[in-house]
Amino acid sequence: MCSGSFAKCLGITLIPLAILCVLCNILLLFPGGLVAEDNGHITEEVWYFGGIIGSGVMMIFPALVFLGLKNNDCCGCCGNESCGKRFAMFTSIIFAAVGVLGAGYSFIVSAVAIHNGPKCFYTNGTAESIPSWTNPFVNGDYLNNHTLWEGCRSLWAS
Ligand SMILES: *[C@@H]1O[C@H](CO)[C@@H](O)[C@H](O)[C@H]1NC(C)=O
């Protein structure tokens, strides 16, 4: 029903990916690569911690369980051989479900974040406008409207 070497391979693959997701989430806390002066400068969706909770914490447990599965019967439960085969399989399925939930949460947060776009230090381009921290993309198209991107001022120059 289940192959231990496949589960191991899955576990080994999931761990670097989970770490990458956590790092990406942490990077988003530093807009422009700088420490934000105000938490209001950080895009709201970053605080939902899709990468840290969904793809990180909720993914690391199933990854470790898959890694611990025995090669032959695929049924050690977290390395404990004495527990029943059925119970072991049940545990693996529960942990896999946790992973699916985490991935779903992370996916939804990312989709909402891409739809809303990030906050940036924005000026609408007219001479008298003063740049301010806002989300210019919220009623626009973040991925495609490059006119809006150009309104985002570099934090390095200011
Ligand atoms: C981009 O956004 C600006 C400001 O909302 C709008 O005036 C412009 O028409 C948009 N451009 C495109 C190609 O959608």
Residue 11 is encoded by which pair of tokens?
């576990």
What is the structure's pLDDT at 72?
46
- The per-residue pLDDT for range 53-106, each reduced to its tens digit, is 999 999 999 999 888 876 545 444 455 555 566 776 788 889 999 999 999 999
13 and 84 co-located in one domain? yes
- DSSP character at residue 69: S
72 and 44 co-located in one domain? yes
Distance 138 CA to ligand 1 centre (A): 12
- The per-residue pLDDT for range 97-146, each reduced to its tens digit, is 999 999 999 999 999 999 999 999 999 877 778 889 999 999 889 999 99
140 in ligand 1 pocket by Cβ < 6 Å? yes
Label residue 14 by pLDDT band (50, 70, 90): very high
Q: In testing the pocket of ligand 1, which one of 139, 148, 149, 152 has its CB within 8 Å of the most ligand atoms? A: 148
85 and 132 co-located in one domain? no
Structure-derived torsion over alpha carbons of residues 56, 59, 60, 66, reported in degrees to the nearest 10? -160
Residue type, 138: V
What is the structure's pLDDT at 1?
44
- Per the listing, tokens 């105000």 go with 38
148 in ligand 1 pocket by Cβ < 6 Å? yes
Instruction: Give, using CA atoms, the residue closest to atom 1 of ligand 1.
Output: 145
135 in ligand 1 pocket by Cβ < 6 Å? no
Structural domain that includes position 20: 2-116
89 and 99 co-located in one domain? yes
Q: Which of 78, 65, 92, 64 is nearest to 1 (CA)?
A: 92
Partnered with residue 132 across adjacent β-strands are 122
Tell me how many domains the chain contains: 2
d(CA 28, CA 30): 5
What is residue 93's three-state secondary structure? helix
What is the structure's pLDDT at 85?
67
d(CA 56, CA 51): 6
